[in-house]
């Protein structure tokens, strides 16, 4: 409880009244105190006092200290009681000064709260923070202007990224504020370059370049397509939770249909393969199972379901594994689909696949059947939700019309990203494909 509440307000700084009432605030007396006990008053209200006249005795930690008045005048109030403990900075006495005081108004106040020490005002509290203006406009640390130099400018992490992707900084146009190459500049360069480098730059699986000496092993530098593919595999495998489901289908009727179609005039000069039918089946099945045609946008925390299908076909090329895709395959009829597939395959074989063909795929088919392999657990193409692995077609004893017969059988392996596709969805999708391939009538009904 402070008696200050009952007193008239302090005269404001700058007011020069002839008669001022001034308060003396308990100063820190430099003897290790934040407070002092008032032992006794040496003056009373109404007393006329002189400058430096001892007005009170206060007790510090061990000794008592006499307080001299900074004002001459008449005592109008004693603001602390004898025996009370007063904090430094508290007004203890009011004096009505008669003449123009030599005391300045601003400075004769107790200093900010400080813990006194032997040799000075004492340890101060850290001041209040002031409002910072225009933080975005505040001058940055004066970084030296990047003068045009022979060497490209880039932050260390960006240099590292470029190195990881085998990007030569001198080929990248910088877009940074300081004239430096940014992370985005590198990523753009990764998308559009790297895989279409001049041939002497790329190391494929069949090249035997730069082997180091030694009879027991051959060392091939990791770069180019293989490096990029490896990175993509790692990124995919360790980001998306892969689930693979298998379905074995009797495709005998489908093969018969294939023969019939091949013989028809619609496919006279077009190469029609089982893969085309598998692709068509997948495309039809996607209509009711859109989650298999989506992607996980971690950065924006969104699932992107595409309303178009860019169907990727995994292909072995002279330069290594590549996945060119057929844009908007969902609107293609079987004939056009077959044409595109044939073109894609041929282009890949010729090693002429373009970067546009390689980007923005939404779902992939990989055909391991050509190698005579039955099934696999394919790894998703990064950014996609599903990949269908189409195995070899074999003649096998199978159930047929209640008995056992030699039928053409193939296994479909579907890997999907379990973040995007539930087991039920994946299973339904796979079984839809299976049903289409098992009974070609379904193509007509559902296609």
Partner 1 sequence: MIENHDHPIQLLNAEGERVHHAMFSELVADIDDRRLQDLYEDLVVVRRVDSEATALQRQGELGLWAPLLGQEAAQVGSARALADDDFVFASYREHGVAYCKGVDPTQMLRFWRGSTHSGWNPLEYRMTTPAIIVGSQALHATGYALGMKLDGSASAVITYFGDGAVSQGDISEAFGFAASFQAPVVLFCQNNQWAISEPVSLQTQVSIAQRARGFGMPSIRVDGNDVLAVLAATRHSMTHAREGNGPMLIEAVTYRMGPHTTSDDPSRYRPAELDDEWKLKDPLDRVHKHLEREGLINDEFLARVSDRADRTAADLRRGCLETVEPAPMTLFDNVYADEHPLVSEEREQFSQYLAGFEGSAR
Partner 2 sequence: MNNTTTLPLGKALNAGLRRALEDDSKVLLMGEDIGKLGGVFRITDGLQKDFGEHRVIDTPLAESGILGTAVGLAMRGYRPVCEIQFDGFIYPAFDQIVSQVAKLHYRTGGNVTMPITIRVPYGGGIGAIEHHSESPEGYFAQTAGLRVVTCSNPADAHLMIRQAIASDDPVLFFEPKRRYWEKGDVNLAAPIDSYPLHKARVMVSGTDATLLAYGPMVTTALRAAEVAADEGISLEVIDLRSLSPLDMNTIESSVRKTGRLIVTHEAPVFLGIGAEIAARVTERCFYHLEAPVLRVGGFTIPYPPAKLEEHFLPDVDRILDALDRSFAA
Q: Pattern 122-161, binding to partner 1, x per CB under 8 A?
A: --------xxxxx---xx--x-------------------
Which of 70, 152, 312, 426 forms a contact with partner 1 (CB under 8 A)?
70
- CB closer to partner 1 out of 25 and 315: 25
Choose, from 178, 242, 266, 418, the residue flagged as catalytic.
Answer: 418
Nearest-CA neighbor of 388 among 399, 376, 372, 402?
376
Smallest distance, partner 2 to C-beta of residue 177, A: 10
User: How many other CB atoms are found less than 10 A from the CB of residue 71?
Assistant: 27
Task: Based on the shown chain and the rule CB under 8 A, indicate whether residue 42 belongs to the binding site for partner 1.
Answer: no
Smallest distance, partner 1 to C-beta of residue 98, A: 16
Interface segment toward partner 1; rule CB under 8 A; list 114-122, 270-278, 290-298, 300-308? 114-122
Q: Which residue has the tokens 């605030």?
A: 25
Q: Which residue has the tokens 């269908």?
A: 388
Judge contact between 366 and 384, C-beta under 8 A: no
Write 298-305 long-range contacts (CB < 8 A, 24+).
303/420
Q: How far is CA 261 from CA 42, 57, 266, 281, in A?
A: 121, 116, 8, 16
Task: Based on the shown chain and the rule CB under 8 A, indicate whether residue 16 belongs to the binding site for partner 1.
Answer: no
Whether residue 228 lies in the annotated active site: no
Interface segment toward partner 1; rule CB under 8 A; list 77-85, 103-111, 198-206, 312-320? 103-111
Smallest distance, partner 1 to C-beta of residue 142, A: 8
By CB atoms closer than 10 A (0-12, 13-18, 19+), residue 129 is exposed
Interface segment toward partner 1; rule CB under 8 A; list 41-49, 65-73, 281-289, 370-378? 65-73
Residue 144 contact, options partner 2, partner 1, none, Cβ 5-8 Å cut-off depending on partner type: partner 2
- CB closer to partner 2 out of 162 and 409: 162
The tokens for 40 are: 């006794």
Task: Based on the shown chain and the rule CB under 8 A, indicate whether residue 63 belongs to the binding site for partner 1.
Answer: yes
Task: Based on the shown chain and the rule CB under 8 A, indicate whether residue 39 belongs to the binding site for partner 1.
Answer: no
Q: How many residues bind partner 1 (CB under 8 A)?
A: 40
Interface segment toward partner 2; rule CB under 8 A; list 120-128, 145-153, 263-271, 272-280? 145-153
The tokens for 107 are: 């400075």
Smallest distance, partner 2 to C-beta of residue 226, A: 23
Judge contact between 114 and 33, C-beta under 8 A: no
Q: Which residue has the tokens 């294939």?
A: 258
Q: Rounded distance, CA 432 to CA 429, Å?
A: 5
161-220 residues near partner 2, rule: CB under 8 A: 176, 178-180
Q: Rounded distance, CA 311 to CA 361, Å?
A: 6
Task: Based on the shown chain and the rule CB under 8 A, indicate whether residue 271 belongs to the binding site for partner 2.
Answer: no
CA contacts within 13 A on the Cβ side of 314: 20
- CB closer to partner 2 out of 142 and 198: 142
Judge contact between 386 and 415, C-beta under 8 A: yes
The tokens for 96 are: 């009505």
Judge contact between 97 and 72, C-beta under 8 A: yes
The tokens for 234 are: 């790692």
Residue 180 contact, options partner 2, partner 1, none, Cβ 5-8 Å cut-off depending on partner type: partner 2
Judge contact between 369 and 392, C-beta under 8 A: yes
Which of 102, 218, 288, 328 forms a contact with partner 1 (CB under 8 A)?
102
Judge contact between 389 and 242, C-beta under 8 A: no
Smallest distance, partner 1 to C-beta of residue 78, A: 17
Task: Based on the shown chain and the rule CB under 8 A, indicate whether residue 245 belongs to the binding site for partner 2.
Answer: no
Smallest distance, partner 2 to C-beta of residue 175, A: 13
Find the distance separating the first CA and the last CA of the chain, reported in whole Å: 88
Total residue length of the chain = 447
CA contacts within 13 A on the Cβ side of 282: 30
Task: Based on the shown chain and the rule CB under 8 A, indicate whether residue 40 belongs to the binding site for partner 1.
Answer: no
Q: Rounded distance, CA 34 to CA 36, Å?
A: 7
Residues lying near partner 1 in the complex (CB under 8 A): 24-25, 27-31, 51-52, 60-63, 65-68, 70, 102-104, 107-111, 116-121, 130-134, 138-139, 142
Positions marked catalytic: 418
Residues lying near partner 2 in the complex (CB under 8 A): 141-144, 146-147, 149-151, 153-156, 159, 176, 178-180
């Amino acid at each position: 409880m402070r008696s200050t509440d009952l007193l008239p307000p302090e005269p404001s700084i700058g007011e020069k009244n002839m008669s001022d009432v001034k308060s003396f605030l308990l100063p820190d007396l430099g003897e290790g105190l934040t407070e002092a006990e008032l032992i006794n008053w040496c003056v009373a209200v109404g007393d006329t006092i002189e400058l430096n006249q001892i007005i009170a005795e206060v007790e510090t930690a061990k000794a008592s200290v006499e307080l001299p008045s900074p004002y001459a005048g008449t005592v109008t109030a004693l603001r602390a009681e004898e025996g009370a403990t007063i904090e430094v900075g508290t007004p203890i006495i009011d004096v009505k000064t008669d003449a123009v005081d030599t005391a300045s108004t601003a400075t004769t106040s107790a200093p900010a709260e400080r813990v006194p020490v032997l040799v000075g005002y004492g340890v101060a509290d850290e001041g209040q923070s002031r409002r910072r203006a225009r933080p975005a406009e505040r001058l940055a640390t004066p970084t030296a202007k990047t003068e045009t130099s022979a060497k490209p400018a880039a932050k260390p992490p960006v240099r590292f990224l470029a190195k990881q992707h085998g990007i030569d900084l001198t080929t990248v146009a910088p877009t940074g504020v300081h004239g430096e190459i940014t992370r985005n500049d590198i990523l753009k360069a990764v998308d559009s370059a790297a895989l279409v480098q001049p041939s002497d730059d790329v190391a494929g699986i069949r090249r035997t370049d730069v082997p180091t000496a030694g009879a027991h092993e051959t060392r091939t530098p990791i770069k180019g397509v293989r490096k990029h593919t490896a990175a993509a595999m790692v990124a995919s495998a360790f980001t998306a939770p892969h689930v693979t489901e298998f379905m074995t289908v009797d495709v005998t009727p489908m093969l018969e249909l294939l023969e019939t179609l091949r013989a028809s005039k619609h496919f006279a000069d077009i190469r029609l393969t089982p893969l085309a039918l598998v692709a068509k089946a997948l495309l039809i099945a996607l209509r009711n199972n859109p989650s298999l045609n989506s992607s996980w946008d971690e950065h924006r925390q969104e699932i992107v379901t595409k309303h178009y299908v860019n169907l990727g076909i995994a292909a072995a090329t002279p330069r290594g594994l590549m996945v060119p895709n057929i844009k908007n395959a969902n609107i293609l009829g079987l004939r056009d689909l077959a044409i595109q597939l044939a073109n894609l395959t041929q282009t890949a074989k010729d090693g002429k696949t373009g970067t546009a063909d390689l980007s923005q795929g939404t779902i992939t088919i990989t055909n391991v059947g050509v190698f005579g392999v039955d099934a696999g657990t394919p790894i998703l193409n990064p950014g996609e939700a599903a990949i269908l692995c189409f195995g070899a077609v074999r003649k096998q004893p199978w159930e047929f019309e209640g008995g056992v017969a030699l039928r053409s059988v193939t296994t479909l392996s579907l890997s999907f990203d379990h973040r995007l596709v539930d087991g039920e969805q994946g299973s339904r999708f796979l079984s839809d494909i299976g049903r289409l391939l098992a009974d070609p009538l379904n193509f007509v009904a559902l296609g």
